[in-house]
Structure 1
Amino acid sequence: MSGSRRVLAYYRTVPEYTARHLSVLEGLEAVRKRPGMYIGSTDSRGLMHCLWEIIDNAVDEALDGHADRIGVTLLPDGSVAVADNGRGIPVDEVPGVGLSGVEVVYTKLHAGGKFGGGSYAASGGLHGVGASVVNALSQRLDVEVDRDGRTHRMTFRRGEPGRFADGRTPSPESEFTPFVTDSELEIAGKVAKKKTGTRVRFWPDPQIFPSTTEMSIEAILGRAKQTAFLVPGLTIVIRDERTSDTLEETFHYDGGVVDFVDDLAPDAAITQTFHIEGSGTFVETVQTLDKDTGHLVPIETERTCRVDVALSWGQGYETTMKSFVNIIATPVGGTHVQGFEAGLSRAMRKLIETNARRLKITAKDPKIEKEDIMAGLTAVVTVSLPEPQFEGQTKEILGTGPVRGIVNKVIGDGLLEVLSSTKRSQRDETNRLLEKIVAEMRARVAARMHKEISRRKNALETSTMPAKLSDCRSEAVENTELFIVEGDSALGTAKLARNSEFQALLPIRGKILNVQKASPADILRNQEVAAIIQVVGAGSGRTFDVDAARYGKVILMTDADVDGAHIRTLLLTLFFRYMRPLVEAGRVYAAVPPLHRIDVIGRGKAKNEVHYTYSEAELSALLKKLEKQGRRYKEPIQRYKGLGEMDADQLAETTMDPEFRTLRRVSMADEEAIRQAETVFELLMGNDVAPRKEFIVEGSEEVDRARIDV
């Protein structure tokens, strides 16, 4: 009983919780109290969202065919101005409200021209809270509307309409007089009767956004560029006046999603860019205001969802996908992306099943997964529909359920129709794509097996490595080196020349497979390529994990002749295509073995001197120097045509000992270097013979025939 009394006594100490404890926030006060509900956060992401809300209103005018130009200006005082040449916000009085359209749009939540469906066929602004939220979170906001031959003007401070006593320059610090009884839409000037448009300038409120928060010009430029792609014919001008060096960029594209995909593609394409369009309808229950009763009543409305998608596959394995609803980006996806992925998977699995015999797919092979299909895919997925349902005001996820099935059908049926074409060019393209997908499936399975093996170089792991690998003893990855050696003859010498503490050796038999030219299925079956991938130990393709690599350096050690150069190029092609992060990290090197050995006869009792040269020019210069000094040397001069011609001491001294050797690092410093590498590898190692033949013919006069081993 004493315990029960203590419990009862405890509950009596809790304050009463009644209706008087509930706060009712009206109008824009709710926005200022809980800004995260409307813009996601109050950091730079939320600040940028405010700008997107204003820009999207202008874009909706362009999307509906009423505007073709939008200007965005970042001003030195921290404010932002957005201008468009659309129809202009209505300035007449809103029936039943008693306020002008401008004041209603900027002060009333859930108010605007995008509810009834009569003003916009499809728009990004849907909840009617965008402009009013920005107003509520701004220290000051000015609106100017050109309409009916006049410029109408209204100003707000933290959402409250009134009038600022400005001097020459408008400022949020100017004296402000709020409207008390009636609001006034000021007539600020006259314009041509046909001129229309809206100009909005707002100063973010420092009470909401930290002083260190600022807008990213890179993000604005990226958003402007993608919008110009999605609304062909629209011109967007971005101007940044925040620094002494004013930046101005203009975006205008007449193409659509096809051009967008071509711009986004990170590597050379193996398919053309496919453009798939379609539409579907669904019935949705909508709450509509009854004019007679003034109450909301549910009405079943038929909606049309239009699908516009472009996609292509590249040689790489990165997936680049952008999705949009009424040209509003949905970075987290939603039902339209789910439908796209489902339709894509359905179509590709059907095609692979039809071509299973040619692709050597058996019942024992695992199921093709979505990630196999999307490897190397670049896609832009756009849908447009009236009043889409988003999950939150930030519009990052589409929630309208029926869209999933519509996009699934449009994409699945459209892809099957295109890729099943009997035209020879399309048939070859389809075959290349299906081989890539099957190869990704097999690479995924192989990568999973690799991950099951411990990355540490212990006895268990060493026993699972290829038998021809001569591993090192050290487990400190940053200090270890893997030499990929050409031929077994050089391997014997290299074993004696290496420091087995940190140098490992993997011999390869002659010229490995050209992975640029071979089909993915052939690549996976090739023992030499498989051994290299297994020994490096970090997977391959898009599953490659550079942090899991078993060696700090990978050194390609081939003969100093034409065949050695060819083998080195084949190896570089493999690393560039399937282990690129290792190259980007600067961990792939090419050994530089000498071409010549010159034994200079010592004078008197002095011992003979040994000199190594690495080019014909260096040899010629050395011989001239010796002749000038009156020194003699043994003839004929030894010309190394292979690593196997050196003894262990010579190989260590010239090529393997870190104290004396020379290595060439293979690197890609920036995106331009990567693009150049893509071009060179495709030219020298790709399937297209004509450009390579032209390159060889044009450069034939520069070849030194004496350097060709025949």
Structure 2
Amino acid sequence: MAEPTPDQYSARHLSVLDGLEAVRKRPGMYIGSTDSRGLMHCLWEIIDNSVDEALSGHGDRIAVTLDADGSVTVEDAGRGIPIDIEPKTGLTGVEVVFTKLHAGGKFGASNYGTAGGLHGVGASVVNALSERLDVEVTRGGKVYAMSFHRGEPGVFDDGEGQPRPDAPFAPFTEGSELRVVGKAPRGRAGTRVRYWADPQIFIKGASFQPDELAARARQTAFLVPGLEMVIRDARDVSAEPIDQSYRYDGGIAEFAEFLAPDAPTTDVWRIEGEGDYTETIPVLDDEGRMVSREVQRTATVDLALRWGVGYDTTVRSFVNIIATPKGGTHHAGFEQGLLKFVRAEVERNARKLKVGANEKLEKDDVLAGLTAVVTVRIPEPQFEGQTKEVLGTPPVRAIVSSVITNGLKERFASTKRQDKAEASMLLEKVVSEMKARISARAHKETQRRKTALESSSLPTKLVDCRSNDVEHSELFIVEGDSALGTAKPARNSEFQALLPIRGKILNVQKASVSDMLSNAECASIIQVVGAGSGRSFDLGAARYGKIILMSDADVDGAHIRTLLLTLFFRYMRPMLEAGRVYAAVPPLHRVEIVRRGAKKNEMVYTYSEAELDGLLKRLARQNASYKEPIQRYKGLGEMDEDQLWSTTMDPAARLLRRVSVTHAADAERVFDLLMGTDVAPRKEFLFESSKSIAPEFIDV
């Protein structure tokens, strides 16, 4: 059929999507995507409904189960979805909640003072995108049930077997029925939702993410003190289900302590407050017409913040316990009030802190090392989109800014010795961050590389390359002068540079920023890389395309490599994230195979004991001989220049191990465990792991 011309284009060519049909046609509009992220968003919608009940004081336990058949079950101990008839639609409350968009009990303040599910589309969207959804409501001593197939209510014929999404389904024709399927003890109430995501909607690889689910459950338990979140992963039928339970009574102060990645400079500061504002909203009058009214609102603000010795910033913001990862007016108000107050305090103590007239704090100076949890609770917040990642309610910005300013004023005016000491340490920290930023910027401007002749201000021990092509240049950080002596004639001086370090550098996971900068080896590495450090690090200014850590293949070499990686992870992390840091893999053995006749003997290098054993067994089967003793390299200095070039430095033949940061949070915990200041967990880890290490592999 021919396409209609502009003159023929009329109203009959328009499509009107009604009810849940619109959700199935454009799911991305409601859940963001149809991959694992969208699948998890559906789960959050159901969980958040149960959490809203707990926030309102109804129920203290929520259980989530991932089943082997692909379904997920969310069960709470709240009041239960209303089962009586809703007068406007003539449907039960259960059917209204699961089949009507923009319907629910959260549009007014009578049922929920504050809630996360405010658009009234969460449960109905999940129902529309599910191949099957079963809901059970316990109220008034009875258990009521209703089932849906892709949003349509009806009855599944499961026979004697377990519920399954492909069971025969009969939709209701004349009227819907909310079945009574059992009795319940007096006083028990709650809602149980089980659903199977629709494979027609979600892509084939979409799956529930148990780690993400556990993190969200833990987060919710922190934000709602006294609420128990239980997660059960029963997807593997061949193994016992994995149960995890979270409950915290310390609230967001305990949450901030949990999130903190470094040792503390201050304790966790708890700041609370509230503010009133007026909002014009559309409401339904008694005749069902939409009218505008001005209502008085109250925003409750609860903050927990602490500064640590590091420079990483972790700020988590929430509205009615719904995470807002992209911020919003509450996050902006928090940063605005914090920066304004700290700036004023630094100016007031400028002489004591030795701050010049032209030195001014920036936001990053104040946020360095900060771990904060920002929560606000307001009725009917304005989110930008159904995914609720950004708060848009304008008056909240000024309220949060005022609350944090007043709270910090009270903290800094305290006469308690500990409060005064922590306030003083905080000011010293932000001023040192400011001075480090200014110094790093000036240093970076003078260290931009144009030609090899401009490297005179770089460390004298740097053996630079001739090429100005950053993408194809390489910097080898080598262990000791002996390795440098071999590597210098072995390298290709056109694009390979060398920087020797003396032994084991400073463990920067334990040290302060000033200690790191005053350490000669750490300062030399940062200076040679040429892109700054910490917050001021500029990946585009790096002088080399690859950084290759070349250390001996022994325990000391591994330790040096770990210390170097710690430096890069803490202060030059974008290099790791960009995949520009490598570890050289030098051989452990050299086997000289004897060739009969005029043939030249063959040199074979092996990189592990297992590889050497395999080579020797193969030679034995071939009746080939080799020279004894087999050379075992204890260090790079034992190789001559030809051997080092062919095994470790030649791009055509070498073996490199790229170091990447795929899971930054996990890497942070591992670095802190192995290299941090807390000894007890590291000692416990070593004792537990010692059983898996064979004594013969320990180089002593």
Tell me, yes or no, if structure 1 residue 404 matches structure 2 residue 397: yes
Amino acid at match of 2:528: V
- Which residue of 339, 343, 349 maps to 2:337? 343
Residues 1:92 and 2:92 are matched in the alignment:
no
- Change in Cα spacing, 1:672 to 1:113, as seen in structure 2 (3 Å) is closer
In structure 1, give the amino acid aligned to 2:419: Q
Match of 2:234 in 1: 241
For residue 127 of structure 2, the aligned residue among 135, 146, 158 is 135
Q: Aligned residue for 1:330?
A: 324
Q: 2:375 aligns with which of 344, 363, 382?
A: 382
Map of 1:645 onto structure 2: none
Q: Structure 2: which 5+ runs fail to align?
A: 553-559, 585-634, 649-656, 681-700
**Structure 2 counterpart of 1:111, one-letter code:** A
Alpha carbons 2:311, 2:369 under 8 Å: kept: yes
Query: Is the 1:83–1:199 contact (alpha carbons within 8 Å) kept by the matching residues of 2?
Result: yes
The whole-number CA distance in structure 2 between the counterparts of 1:171 and 1:518 is 58
Identify if the C-alpha distance between structure 1 residues 27 and 529 changes in structure 2 by more than 3 Å, giving closer, same or farther. Answer: closer
Deviations along 1:52-111, one digit per CA (max 9) or x if unpaired, are 111111111111110111111111221111111111011111123321111111111111
Sort the Cα spacing of 1:423 and 1:535 in 2 relative to 1 into closer, same or farther, 3 A: farther
Report if aligned partners of 2:510, 2:677 keep a CA contact under 8 Å in 1. Answer: no
**Structure 1: distance between partners of 2:641 and 2:22:** 71
1:203 alignment partner, SS class: strand
Superposition deviation, residue 266 in structure 1:
1.2
Q: Distance in 1 between matches of 2:529 and 2:73?
A: 54
Aligned to 2:271: 276
Q: Is 1:102 aligned with 2:97?
A: no
Q: Tell me whether 1:60 sits opposite 2:57 in the alignment.
A: no
Q: How does 1:124-163 map to 2 (within 5 A)?
A: 124-163=116-155
**Stretch moving more, 571-580 or 62-71:** 571-580
For each residue in 1:193-247, what CA deviation from the matched residue of structure 2 results, as whole angstroms up to 9, or x when unmatched? Answer: 2111111111111221123211111111111110011111111111112113222
CA distance in 2, matches of 1:496, 1:243: 54
Instruction: Tell me the residue number matched to 2:246.
Output: 251
Query: Deviation at 1:411?
Result: 1.2
Residues in 2 aligned to 1:206 and 1:496: alpha-carbon distance in whole angstroms = 61
- Cα gap change, 1:521 to 1:95, in 2 (>3 Å): same
Cα shift at 1:525: 8.4
Question: For 2:511 and 2:80, how far apart are their aligned partners in 1?
Answer: 59
In the TM superposition, residue 19 of structure 1 has moved relative to its aligned partner by 2.7
8 A contact 2:264–2:306 mirrored in 1 = yes
Structure 2 residue corresponding to 1:289, chosen from 284, 290, 296: 284
Letter in 1 for 2:344: K
User: Which shifted more, 354-363 or 134-143?
Assistant: 354-363
- Secondary structure at the aligned position of 1:125 is classed as coil
Give, in whole Å, the separation in 2 of the partners of 1:571 and 1:161: 61
Residue correspondences, number: 592
Q: After superposition, where does 1:44-59 map in structure 2 within 5 Å?
A: 44-59=36-51
Q: Offset of 1:480 from its aligned partner?
A: 3.9
d(CA) in 1 for partners of 2:140, 2:266: 52
Which residue of structure 2 lines up, in the alignment, with residue 459 of structure 1? 452
Shift of residue 519, structure 1, vs aligned partner: 7.5
Match of 2:297 in 1: 303
What residue in structure 1 maps to residue 188 of structure 2? 195
CA change 1:571–1:112 in 2 (3 A) is closer
Query: Which residue type is aligned with residue 322 of structure 2?
Result: I
Q: Which has the larger radius of gyration?
A: 1
**Distance (whole Å) between structure 1 residues aligned to residue 487 and residue 165 of structure 2:** 76
Q: Could you say what secondary structure the match of 1:333 adopts?
A: coil
Alpha-carbon separation, structure 2, partners of 1:218 and 1:429: 36
Structure 1 CA distance for aligned equivalents of residues 511 and 123 of structure 2: 56
- Contact 1:225/1:251 (<8 A) preserved: yes
Which among 263, 266, 269 is matched to residue 261 of structure 2?
266
Name the CA distance, whole Å, in 2 between partners of 1:272 and 1:656.
55
Separation in 1, partners of 2:516, 2:97: 61
Q: Distance in 1 between matches of 2:519 and 2:319?
A: 45
Shift of 1:394: 0.9
Aligned partners of 1:682 and 1:250: how far apart in 2?
Answer: 27
Q: Distance in 2 between matches of 1:542 and 1:656?
A: 41
Pair 443,506 (structure 1): closer, same or farther in 2 beyond 3 Å: farther
Q: Does 2:350 correspond to 1:356?
A: yes
Residues 239 and 652 (structure 1), Cα distance of their counterparts in 2 relative to 1, 3 Å cut: closer
1:78 aligns with 2:75: no
Distance in 2 between residues matched to 1:582 and 1:335, nearest whole Å? 33
Structure 1 segments unaligned to the other structure (5+ residues) = 1-10, 558-566, 590-650, 684-710
Partners of 1:541 and 1:305 in 2: how far apart? 36
**Inter-CA distance 22–39: structure 2 relative to 1 (3 Å threshold):** same
Give 1:385 deviation, angstroms. 0.6
TM-score by length of 1: 0.74
Q: In 2, distance between residues paired with 1:178 and 1:568?
A: 65
Cα gap change, 1:278 to 1:153, in 2 (>3 Å): same
Q: 1:139 to 1:15 in 2, by over 3 A?
A: farther
1:42 is the counterpart of 2:27 = no
Secondary structure of the residue aligned to 1:411 is: helix
Distance of 1:77 and 1:516 partners within structure 2 = 45
| Alpha carbons of structure 1 residues 164 and 233: separation in structure 2 relative to 1, 3 Å | same
- Distance in 1 separating the partners of 2:474 and 2:43: 50
* CA contact 2:452–2:467 (8 Å) conserved in 1: no
Letter in 2 for 1:117: A
Q: Could you tell me whether the CA contact under 8 Å between 1:261 and 1:311 is conserved in 2?
A: yes
**1:172-571 correspondence to structure 2 within 5 Å:** 172-244=165-237, 245=239, 246-291=241-286, 293-365=287-359, 367-449=360-442, 451-452=444-445, 458-465=451-458, 471=464, 473=466, 480-482=475-477, 499=489, 501=493, 504=498, 533-544=526-537, 548=542, 550=544, 552-553=547-548
Task: Give the distance between the partners of 1:572 and 1:134, measured in 2 at CA.
Answer: 45
Taking structure 1 as reference, are residues 495 and 223 closer, same or farther at Cα in structure 2, changes over 3 Å only? Answer: closer
Q: Label 1:14 to 1:503 Cα distance change in 2 as closer, same or farther (>3 A).
A: closer
Shift of 1:674: 1.8
Deviations along 1:630-665, one digit per CA (max 9) or x if unpaired, are: xxxxxxxxxxxxxxxxxxxxx99679979699x9x9
- Relative to structure 1, the CA distance from residue 570 to residue 418 in structure 2 (aligned partners, 3 Å threshold; closer, same or farther) is farther
What is the CA distance between 1:147 and its match in structure 2? Answer: 0.5
Is the deviation greater in 475-484 or in 426-435?
475-484
Aligned residue for 2:672? 675
**Maintained 8 Å contact 2:452/2:464:** no
Return the alpha-carbon distance in structure 1 between the equivalents of residues 416 and 7 of structure 2: 79
Kindly provide the CA deviation profile for residues 152-203 of structure 1, in whole angstroms up to 9, marking residues without a partner as x.
1111111111111121211222222211122111111111121111111111
Instruction: From the superposition, tell whether residues 194 and 511 of structure 1 become closer, same or farther in structure 2 (CA, over 3 Å).
Output: closer
User: Structure 1's 229 and 124: CA in aligned 2 closer, same or farther, altered over 3 A?
Assistant: same
CA distance 1:572–1:25, shift in 2 (3 Å): closer
Partner Cα distance (2:643, 2:458) in 1: 29
| Matched-pair contact (CA < 8 Å) for 1:443–1:524 | no
| Alpha-carbon shift at residue 356 of structure 1 (Å) | 1.6
- What residue identity is the alignment partner of 2:196? W
Q: CA–CA distance in 2 between the matches of 1:38 and 1:376?
A: 36
Contact 2:307 2:370 in 1 (8 A): yes
TM-score (norm 2): 0.75
For 1:418 and 1:108, locate their aligned partners in 2 and report how far apart those are by CA, in whole Å: 49
1:572 and 1:31 map into 2 onto residues whose CA distance is 48
Using the alignment, how far apart are the partners of 1:57 and 1:234 within structure 2?
Answer: 14
CA, structure 1 residues 358+154, in 2 after alignment: closer, same or farther (shift >3 Å)? same
User: Residue 670 and residue 212 in structure 1: after superposition, are their counterparts in 2 closer, same or farther (change >3 A)?
Assistant: closer
